[in-house]
Structure 1
Amino acid sequence: MYLGDEAWPDLESYFESESIALVPLGSTEQHGPHLPEATDHLIAEAFARAAADRTGYLCTPTINIGVSGHHRQFHGTMWVDPPEFRQYVESMTRNLTSHGIDRVIYVNAHGGNVPHLREVGARLRQAEVAYAIEWMWDESIPELVDDLFEQNGPHGGPKETSMIQYLESDLVHDDRLREAKEGGVPSVDAAGTVRHGSRTFYDAADNTDNGVLGDQTDATAEKGRQLFEAASDQLVYLCEWLADQPFEALLPKEHV
């Protein structure tokens, strides 16, 4: 069920009987010369909508702009600063709790959002308002990602390229895949910006001239389909697990 498609009287029965919401989040940022800036939020919304369709749980509108300041040197990248992002996500989640939602899955497709979503979830849990957890699609299927790609990225690499080839093929510049590979770097290790145990980089531009890593020429829509179906299964399993938990069991333990 997509919240934005429903009239308010028709949502009453959902809020009376269910307590889960899926919140898709991504970014609007550079993904190299070959992928759209919408890459992350397109992927997040596709997963959240698919899981909502399969489970009947509620999917909210997508948060399209995330913590992406580390891509600011590239044209068109949009971002919000971390405190404002955390405040917005927490406020939106509290809004859901006012309708009876007490558990939320942040269906996330942007690595820069992860620590901030974790912090918001921890605050809401500590306040015993809601149990909100972050889910990242590629982290749910690491073995498959490793099996499909020799150099998988992480940013703008073949896993994201394959996913957009599958979901929104018209938005991929397939004629630029070799350019993306040759203008980027295979990995952060290859960039040489981890020195003596310290991550000496702050921005994507510190690592790669064109903003991406990995071997984009290894991407195919078929691989994207495999990734999407496998990770969608994992998200559905997570929804089912979360629905089975008594809310009290999800709250912080008592002091010893």
Structure 2
Amino acid sequence: MNKHLITNMTWQEYQSKIKDNILILPIGSTEQHGPHLPLGVDSMLAESYSLAIAEKINAVVAPTVSYGYKSLPASGGGPIFPGTIDLKGATVVSLVYDLLEEFLHDGWQKIVLVSCHYENEAFLAEAADLITRNQTEEFPKILLVNWWDNLSENILPLVFDEVEFPGWALEHAAIAETSMMMYCYPELVREDAITDEGIDIPPTFQQFPPSKTLIPQSGSLHTARSSTAEKGRLIVENSTDNIVSVLENELFAKVKITD
């Protein structure tokens, strides 16, 4: 039983954590990740990152938000693939706003949103902004973080040592995410289904209704070949450490580092 998950706590145990801890809310999505990865990649990684962060600081992890804003065809396949379950942008804002409202009502002063689905970012920022817009005190404080903005540049050559880095726009279900899944959830990676299909250059426009021929039928934007669990470990550990540094700096004395 993981001690950081609030789903495993009684209400009294949960209440006892509020004063001196950080609350982490993992937020992902349910969407296609090619033929070799499960639909829950973003949500699984969001929870894995949240738990990794919680191991390093006084933090508890809320239940993962497993649905998100729609991915566009050129950044994840979009709604043309069965199993991609999207929310409207207004729904994402309303959902996260309501959750933040409840946590703030409980008394949390330090809340971290851990995002692992790129298309959610603007709507998470909107929810956090709306709920704190009229606030005059520094706390309560809400931070929005993700792994890709907190990955050190020196890690990229180690991850993309065999296949050239195509840019984050084409890295959906490719080497980075596949490697992280190999590290965090190896039993869910279908290595024999990895394909070399993809697109060479992301389009400079969006089309509505979405084109069914923009990306391969497999849903892959770029190859995941050369992915390894070791590369996943490098990504997860490096970005986790960098996120923890952000929390230390932004929440300063409010954060207590555990042994």
Shorter-chain TM-score: what band? 0.7 to 0.9
1:40 maps to which of 42, 60, 72: 42
**Higher normalized helix content (fraction of residues):** 1
Deviations 1:80-120 (A, max 9, x none): 11101110101001100011113321101001101111111
CA contact (8 A) 1:138 1:145 kept: no
The reply on whether 1:12 has 2:15 as its aligned counterpart is yes
TM-score by length of 2: 0.83
Q: Which residue type is aligned with residue 241 of structure 1?
A: N
Corresponding residue for residue 257 of structure 2: none
Stretch deviating more after TM superposition (62-71 or 161-170): 62-71
1:132 maps to which of 131, 139, 142: 142
1:204–1:109 Cα change, 3 Å: farther
Deviation of 1:145 after TM superposition, in Å, equals 5.1
Corresponding residue for residue 224 of structure 1: 232
Identity across the alignment (%): 26
- CA separation in 2, counterparts of 1:115 and 1:145? 26
Deviation of 1:125 after TM superposition, in Å, equals 2.4
Aligned residue pairs: how many? 234
1:185 maps to which of 199, 202, 205: 199
The reply on whether 1:98 has 2:105 as its aligned counterpart is yes
CA contact (8 A) 2:152 2:239 kept: no
- CA separation in 1, counterparts of 2:206 and 2:236? 33
CA contact (8 A) 1:187 1:214 kept: no
- CA separation in 1, counterparts of 2:12 and 2:36? 44
- CA separation in 1, counterparts of 2:131 and 2:213? 35
Q: Which residue type is aligned with residue 73 of structure 1?
A: I
Deviation of 1:8 after TM superposition, in Å, equals 1.2
TM-score by length of 1: 0.84
2:171 maps to which of 154, 160, 169: 154
- CA separation in 1, counterparts of 2:221 and 2:247? 32
Q: Which has the higher contact order (CA 8 A, sep 6+)?
A: 2
Task: Please give the root-mean-square deviation of Cα atoms over the aligned residues, in Å.
Answer: 2.1
CA contact (8 A) 1:27 1:38 kept: yes
Deviation of 1:204 after TM superposition, in Å, equals 8.1
Deviation of 1:154 after TM superposition, in Å, equals 2.3
